[in-house]
């Protein structure tokens, strides 16, 4: 009996040391961020970055990916604390962020945008004087709007947890404009003619997978992305989700180095 108990305890210790979740890459994402990560009609989480991170995980030795829905601003602390292994949600690489987290090599080039209701009469950023704009909390759009609020005379900045609630408020007249990543907005409004992107805000952003500071997973993911670009895998994902092949010189098609602080 004692021997059996000892054996059971030993097996339990091994199980604790090597949990099944060790083979699962735990990824945080702000689900509702089309076309990057969102729920389809069946309730499944799908999107460009979901496909991408699943392929990366497979190539670096994981058997699967578990996606946890986390508000965008919470992704940073979740990665830093080890609650999740990685984060996606069209996260822009910035020098400030590189002080506290690490990124794999970039896989998408982007800018910000101003979208409005066509009926608003707003034709660009100059039309925002005394207006209210929406942004995603903690995003680069939030940072840009805050830095340029006085320049454009923006009366108020309202913060949302994702594109869908912001666009809904825009449609209801709760805000006058929405400043956010241009590819996500363009995808969202392609079948909604009441909206329009009236100005591209050039910020020269690049997206990548975010990891804890100096995590070896960032290096492994960078190598996996290099192979995926050389094999045309990332380019095929771009065609699947955006309907076009990426330009040859963009980070979706061209191999890149892992960003350094």
Domains of the chain: 2-107+208-242 (3.40.190.10), 111-205 (3.40.190.10)
Contact 166, 100 (CB under 8 A): no
- In this prediction the pTM is 0.82
What average pLDDT does the structure give for the chain? Answer: 92
Instruction: Give the pair of three-digit tokens for residue 185.
Output: 């907005």
For the chain, 261 residues long, the average pLDDT of each consecutive 10-residue run is 45 41 88 93 97 98 97 97 98 97 97 97 98 96 97 98 94 98 90 94 96 98 98 96 89 97 91
Neighbours of 201 (CB within 10 A): 18
Question: For the residues of 60-93, what is the DSSP string, one character each?
Answer: TT-SEEEEEE--GGGHHHHHHHTSSSEEESSPBP
Beta-carbon-side half-sphere exposure of residue 19 (alpha carbons within 13 Å): 5
Tell me what pLDDT residue 190 has. 85
Tell me what pLDDT residue 22 has. 58
* 236 three-state secondary structure: helix
């Amino acid at each position: 009996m004692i021997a059996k108990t000892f054996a059971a305890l030993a097996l339990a210790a091994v199980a604790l040391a090597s949990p099944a979740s060790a083979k699962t890459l735990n990824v945080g994402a702000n689900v509702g961020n089309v076309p990057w990560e969102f729920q389809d009609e069946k309730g499944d989480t799908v999107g460009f970055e979901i496909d991408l991170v699943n392929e990366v995980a497979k190539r670096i030795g994981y058997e699967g990916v578990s996606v946890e829905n986390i508000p965008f601003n919470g992704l940073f602390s979740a990665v830093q604390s080890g609650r999740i292994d990685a984060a996606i949600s069209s996260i822009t690489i910035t020098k400030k962020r590189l002080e506290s987290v690490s990124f794999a090599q970039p896989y998408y080039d982007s800018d910000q945008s101003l979208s409005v209701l066509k009926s608003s009469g707003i034709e660009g950023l100059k039309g925002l004087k005394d207006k209210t704009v929406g942004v995603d909390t903690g995003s680069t759009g939030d940072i840009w709007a805050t830095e340029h609020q006085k320049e454009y005379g923006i009366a108020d900045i309202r913060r949302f947890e994702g594109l869908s609630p912001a666009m809904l408020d825009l449609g209801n007249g709760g805000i006058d404009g929405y400043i956010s990543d241009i590819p996500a907005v363009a995808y969202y409004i392609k079948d909604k003619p009441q909206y329009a992107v009236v100005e591209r805000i050039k910020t020269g952003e690049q997206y990548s997978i975010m990891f804890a500071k100096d995590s070896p997973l960032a290096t492994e993911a960078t190598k996996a992305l290099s192979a995926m670009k050389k094999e045309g895998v990332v380019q095929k994902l771009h065609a699947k989700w955006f309907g076009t092949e990426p330009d040859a010189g963009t980070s979706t098609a061209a191999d890149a180095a892992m960003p350094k602080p």
